[in-house]
Structure 1
Amino acid sequence: MFAHSFRFDHHQFQQRMRNAFEPRKPRHPLLRFAVGVVGLGLLALLVMFSVVIGTAMIVAGIVYKLWKGRGKPMAARDPRIVEGEYRVVDAARIERGDTTRPL
């Protein structure tokens, strides 16, 4: 009896496993529609939940950054300084007016 109970190739076991993982659609059209609407509602609920969680994570990150930088003085910038990228050009090139060739 023990060996017969735990045989996994038995037809009844296979039938039960197949029915457990392959849910059937209802045959009644209104019931099919209701199950579809419930599925779409569940999908919309999960999407909204994930959007709320994502927004909360972004807000928490921004609040953390602002809280971490709280109390530190901002570096004062000199209004006479202009930041930029510069290239050193040969004086001979400037005197000749040679601006057609790339630097």
Structure 2
Amino acid sequence: MRVVLPFLHRRRHPLAQALSVVLGLVVIGVLMVFGLVVAGVLTVGGALWLVWRQWKRGRAAVPGAAPQQARQPEVLEGEYVVIHSSRPVTHH
């Protein structure tokens, strides 16, 4: 059984081949420009977000500013047991 897809067969007319190549290049170009615009927006947005965050953090450290509530520690403490794969695990 032979599978024939209409979009994958090679066009025999030279003008159709040339138009296909030009259309493909245009689509690739548009996608590249769109990708660069998105990357630029994300880069500028991320930079502005970092600057804003640092600015807010700097204002909080000003001596005349209102005191903030005590922060909870960011470290979680607990007991951990190393489980080896060679021995069966016994639950306590």
Query: TM-score normalized by structure 1?
Result: 0.50
Q: Which residue of 2 aligns with 1:67?
A: 52
Shift >6 Å, 4+ stretches: none
Greater Cα radius of gyration, structure 1 or 2? 1
Report which of the two has the higher share of helix.
Answer: 1
Structure 1: 5+ residue stretches without partners: 1-10, 74-103
Give the TM-score normalised by the residue count of structure 2: 0.55
Measure, in 2, the Cα distance between the counterparts of 1:28 and 1:42: 21
Match status 1:29 vs 2:14 = yes
Percent identity of the aligned residues?
Answer: 22
Q: What is the number of equivalent residue pairs in this alignment?
A: 59
- In structure 2, the gaps of 5 or more residues are 60-92
What is the deviation of 1:41? Answer: 0.3
Shift in alpha-carbon separation, 1:30–1:21, aligned structure 2, 3 A: closer
